[in-house]
Amino acid sequence: MKKIVFLLLIFAEHGLSQKINVGLYFEHVVKKINFSSNTGSYMIYCDSSFIGECKLDESILITAQENGMKLSMGDRIILTKKAVFIPNKYQDYFQIKPLIPELKSRVYEGELHIETTKNNNLKIVNYIPLNDYLEGVVESEAGVGQTFEYYKVQSIISRTYALKNWQRHEKEGFNLCDLVHCQAYLHKRNAAKNLVDSAVLTTNNKVLVHQDTSYAPTFFHANCGGEISNPEMVWNTSIEGLSSFKDPFCTHTKQATWKKTIPLEKWSSFFSKTYNFPIQDSTHFYWMTNFSQESRLSFFIHPIFGIPLRDIREEFRLKSTFFSVSLIENNIVLSGRGFGHGVGLCQEGAMNMTKQGYRAEDILNYYFPSSRLESVSFIRE
């Protein structure tokens, strides 16, 4: 029986207020950032001591150094091992912009905790109430212009995913990161803010669970190309509640099909060097350059060759593993379907379903038929 941990939660108007800690700019080695307040002011603590405030439109430079970091606040220079920025008011926003390396700025709410790693890089972590985090995730994952019903769908599956994977980055000192490896969390406050915030609040505490009340695996992707993928095809393991089935709802959307052209020499070299594939043999050469995939497969040509389609996708940066191959002159032309791993909920399919009048509950039942909706007031693990 799974261990259940009850955490004290305060139910304010913004819902489930257990704070989640999210690592920002996780895929980058950040050495220097600029912090500024977009609304209100932020109290600043260095090594647990209050050292001042960052007021509206003021900025602070934070630079990683050996065994610590330097804060530049106007004429003041402060050396510290950890800096914490806490808003004076709930829902105030701050902006951060990495300068080394130079990356796009982002706007978030909640607290910002910064410290240096063993390699003298900056570890940047956003401490934020769960539902406020979900607003940023739904914005990042679904974008603008979606229906309110779809934002409800994304809110529920993203909340479930966050709680199920709560300790994914425990070793790094936070819960989740900002990448699609966890869930995209790239900004707050865009043109869809009111609808997104309302959808998160309307679905407050709602998650998908299995019959044993454990959190369901709510994987999602942009477009399945007309067929949901079996997890075994992607990750070599079965996942309870997820299986392959035909999905007609996304087949006429913008990412349902794609094409990519690859020089024959590059294509042949990959198979020869990586898999010792006998490209000089006429029969094998034909198989390598003429491959049809009417339904989703796991392996290229045949499993006997041991060439996973996911390896080809990674090597050539393809949108999906759901593709067919043809040879045109000296080029390989890939005719593909879908965008993403194909497991779980198809976002474009679900978006289309809402436009056809399906409710959020109908859509969740369609993509996760063995799960059910439940309201939670505690975090299970």
Residue 354 is predicted with a pLDDT of 97
Contact 6, 24 (CB under 8 A): no
| CA of residue 240 relative to chain centroid, distance | 21
Under 8 Å between Cβ of 148 and 141? no
Q: Are 216 and 343 in contact (CB under 8 A)?
A: no
Phi, psi angle pair for 376, to nearest 5°? -120, 150
Q: How far apart are CA 258 and CA 255, in angstroms?
A: 7
DSSP secondary structure letter of residue 172: G
CA angle centred on 158, ends 153 and 162, rounded to 5°: 155
Task: Measure the CA–CA gap between 187 and 133, rounded to whole angstroms.
Answer: 10
Residue 181, pLDDT score: 87
Would you state the torsion angle of the CA atoms of residues 269, 271, 274, 280, taken in this order, to the nearest 10 degrees? Answer: -80
For the chain, list residues with pLDDT below 50: 1-16, 381
272-280 contact pairs (CB < 8 A, 24+): 274/311, 274/315, 275/305, 275/306, 275/307, 277/305, 277/307
Distances (CA, A) of 104 to 33, 97, 100: 11, 6, 11
Instruction: Give the residue carrying structure tokens 């779809």.
Output: 150
Identity of the amino acid at 316: F
CA distance 158 to 153: 9
Instruction: Give the model's pLDDT for residue 194.
Output: 86
What percent of the chain stands above pLDDT 70?
93
Sign of CA dihedral 164, 168, 174, 176: negative
Number of residues that this document lists for the chain:
381
Residue at 56: amino acid letter: L
Of 183, 246, 250, 241, which Cα lies nearest the Cα of 217? 241
Full DSSP string of 237-292: S--TT---EE-GGGTTSTTSEEEEEEEHHHHHHHHHHHH---TTSHHHHHHHH-B-
One-letter amino acid of 85: F
Under DSSP, is residue 81 helix (H, G, I), strand (E, B) or coil? coil
Instruction: Please report the pLDDT score of residue 252 as a whole number.
Output: 93
DSSP 25: S
How are beta strands 82-87 and 111-116 bridged, if at all? Answer: antiparallel
Residue 344 is classified by DSSP as: S
